[in-house]
Chains A and B, each alone.
Chain A
Amino acid sequence: MIRKTMLATCVVGALALTTACTSAGSGGTGSGTSTLTYMTFETPSLNSTFWNDSIAAASKEAPGVKINRITSPSTDRDGYAKQLQASGQFPDLLQSITPSTFAGAGLLVPYDQTWVDANFLLPQGNALKGKVYIPPTNSQIIPEVFYNKELFAKAGVEPPKTWADFLTVCAKLKAAGITPMELGGGDPFAASMPLVGVLSADVLGKNPQWLQERYAGKVKFTDANVVTAVEKYRKLVTEGYFDKGALGVKYADSITQFTGGKAAMYMMGSWFLGSVPKDNADNFGAFPVPTDDGSVVIPFAVGGSMAISSKTKDLAGATKFAQAWSLAPGNLKALIESDGAFPMLKGKTLDDYKVTVSQVFKDSFAYVTDENTKVASIGWASNDDAMPPGLNDQLYAASQALFTSADVKGEMAKLDTAWDTATK
């Protein structure tokens, strides 16, 4: 009898508790406050301290909004956002996603255009069909080539302008016993940087409309000019200019390797500027991805803030928070200093943010402010030049595959197939 009572208590208790958990979990709103979920990601420079501080700063401007931060397990924000969407928990706010992936299904709301026009240098910098889903708070060059001045001096080489010069520099570095290029090939996005660089500089540099024409089906990845550009990346591999085991190197390790002087050059997004060691910053320089004729082409992307879900239960609060976050001077200061972001707020100079930046940051920023050919950074631009959903993954996979396979044409054919499937 006692046993029976115990069992009954146990089962009933368990059921009661589980129900209690549900009601506790599903409740929440009340007393005029709303709890919003905000998907972020973490990198060595944008660590959890940065996010917590920036959320705290923006929350002051948006009273009554409580932010529940969730972190994408990798830098692939789109992938994680889709995962959350598929499992029914699409966040209210999503940091640095590719809007085109989600806007088509009506999952995002655009920002008020007058607010965007009033506050940003390039209001349409990342507009999708004329609508802005992520405020263009800052810009990035993805990638540029960072180099170690000491190692360059040791091999007696200067920063190259043309691709031919670049190959000579690599050869001389290798002859001097220095690994010419660092590559964090263990993380797919980092593995793709050299390929993104040559494709943006060569293909988009000559035809800025290339991605639009790919959507229209007028050009293909298997076209001769694209294949030639990719062969350049392949040549860097076959000549042994990357470390043989580069595909086993994690992104974070590749940063410490390069800053520790283990390789002379590193193709990476301008966010690497935030990882340049402060005590030795003058030892590092940067130049744009070299082109055949030496002309300057800057692979460029604008964005840097968050998108707002159309399903959010407090659109006003979410918008208020997102706008405050996008404009908060403290956030931009942190982004400039730790993530190498180039600020794009109207009517402000670098000095206005009271930042201390390195010379290599200033040199890189000059490429943004100077008149030159700016093209969409392939795979990174989040405007109309964004690739169809899933194509980035395919591009990353191609970069990794071409590290061991010589079949450039075959990999490009896969990209074409994936593109056609994704846009069907």
Chain B
Amino acid sequence: MTAINDVLRSRARLVIAGVVTLLFVAPIYLTIVNAFKAQSQILESPEALPIPPTIDNLSTALARPDGLIQLGLQNSLIDVVFSVALLIPLASAFSFYISRRKTKARAAVLALLAAGLMIPPQVILLPTIQILTFFGLDHSYPGLILSNLGGGYLSFAVFVYVGFMRAVPNEIIEAARLDGASGLRIWWGIVMPLVRPATATVAIFSSLWIWNDFLNPLFILGPLQGQTITTGLYLTIGQYSVDYGQLFGIMFLAAIVPVVGYLFVQKQFIAGLTSGSSK
């Protein structure tokens, strides 16, 4: 009797949880199904499945003369790949260096870096552009990438790495030193393999944030250097899109990369979040 009750109860729980979750992601569901429907079908019943499905919205979006999707994805990729590829060695080397320093110096540097986590980006946007202009790097990819490297992402990466590197036993490092290994060698050859989960966390989150960043590409990169997928959506879709099918089609294509990426690395994604939050 209790066994049957338990089964029923767990079934009911599953159904309720499923319904609530589905309601919660209804906007995403709407984006997916309506990307494959014509405008009239959408207005008639936005929630219906696309039967028969049409790929007109997607092909129109991909055939745009301004190359919104293709160019946007390409530019976003440049931005993310270079930023993250440079961020990881810089942040981890820095973290390793200061995690071996005296407590006082370390605390002072980390306190300075904590500011990077709190500063709202609009606060430093304007002077950042002025500094980049001074170096002749305004409105260029190097400028955008440099500002990514020096901004809040570095703080985030350093905090993740320092947490992990403190756990690396000192003996291992001392042993390597006695063998005559250089600092660089120890960092890259011994420490980095030990803190792979930290690298995964940093790579995943900084990629996601840089990919989704809006303010920096909008102002630092500007319209002349081409747009990232995020700013491109904002600048080109504008206020005159009344065709929902088109809009959902574009959103669908723009969202595919981060969503598929997330589904691939979701284990590390959630692990990264939970390890970060328990500190």
A interface residues (Cβ-Cβ under 8 A, vs B)? 3-4, 7, 10-11, 14-15, 17-19, 21-22, 25-26, 37, 42-44, 48, 52, 68, 70-71, 73-75, 83-84, 86-89, 187, 250-253, 256
Contacts and interface: CB of A to CB of B under 8 A. Distances in A.
A43 B240 contact: yes
Contact of A18 (B65, B136, B141, B239): B141
B188 A37 contact: no
Contacts of A70: 223-224
A42 B237 CA distance: 10
B196 interface: no
A74 B239 CA distance: 7
Contact of A26 (B66, B136, B238, B242): B136
A25 B188 contact: no
A45 to B, nearest CB: 10
Given A18-B142, A68-B224, A86-B126, A3 B240 contact: no
A89 B139 contact: yes
Contacts of B223: 70-71, 84, 89
B222 A18 contact: no
Interface string B202-240: 000000000000000001101111000000001110111
B86 interface: yes
Nearest to B238: A73
B65 A48 contact: yes
A375 B189 CA distance: 77
A42 B238 contact: yes
A89 B238 CA distance: 21
Contacts of B271: none
Contacts of A187: 239
A83 B136 CA distance: 19
Contacts of B236: 71
A14 B85 contact: yes
A377 B122 CA distance: 35
A10 B234 CA distance: 33
Given A7-B188, A26-B136, A21 B239 contact: no
A26 B142 CA distance: 12
B129 interface: yes
B145 interface: yes
A19 B82 CA distance: 12
A181 B219 CA distance: 39
A74 B222 contact: no
Range of interface residues on B (Cβ < 8 Å): 35 or more
Interface in B139-156: 139-142, 145
Given A18-B141, A88-B133, A88-B139, A73 B85 contact: no
A252 B224 contact: no
A87 B141 contact: no
B242 A252 contact: yes
Given A22-B142, A73-B235, A11 B222 contact: no
Given A52-B65, A250-B242, 14 more contacts: A4-B188, A10-B89, A11-B86, A14-B82, A18-B145, A21-B141, A22-B141, A25-B225, A68-B224, A70-B224, A73-B235, A87-B138, A252-B242, A253-B242
B161 to A, nearest CB: 16
Nearest to B90: A11
Contact of A74 (B126, B184, B238): B238
A16 to B, nearest CB: 11
B200 interface: no
B82 A18 contact: yes
B142 A21 contact: yes
A22 B140 contact: yes
B185 interface: yes
A348 to B, nearest CB: 31
Contacts of A10: 85, 89
Contact of A88 (B86, B129, B185): B129
Contacts of B140: 21-22, 25-26
A4 B234 contact: no
Contact of A37 (B133, B141, B145, B224): B224
Interface in B171-206: 184-185, 188-189
Residue in B82, B129, B142, B225 with the greatest tally of chain A CB atoms within 10 Å: B142
Contacts of B114: none
Identify the interface centre among B140, B184, B239: most chain A CB within 10 Å of its CB.
B239
B219 A73 contact: no
B137 interface: yes
Contacts of A19: 142
Given A14-B85, A22-B140, A251 B224 contact: no
A43 B242 CA distance: 12
Nearest to B243: A252
A399 to B, nearest CB: 17
B3 to A, nearest CB: 54
A68 B139 CA distance: 15
Contacts of A42: 238, 240
Contacts of B238: 42, 71, 73-74
A84 B242 CA distance: 27
A256 B242 CA distance: 9
A397 B222 CA distance: 27
A412 B142 CA distance: 47
A355 to B, nearest CB: 24
Nearest to B133: A88
10 contacts: A21-B140, A43-B240, A52-B65, A71-B235, A83-B219, A87-B139, A87-B219, A87-B222, A88-B129, A187-B239
Nearest to A187: B239
B239 A14 contact: no
Contacts of B142: 18-19, 21-22
Contacts of B86: 11, 14-15
B129 A87 contact: yes
A170 to B, nearest CB: 27
5 cross-chain pairs, A with B, having the tightest CB-CB distances, nearest first: A18-B142, A70-B223, A252-B240, A21-B141, A73-B235
A89 B222 contact: yes
Nearest to B137: A22
A89 B189 CA distance: 45
A67 to B, nearest CB: 12
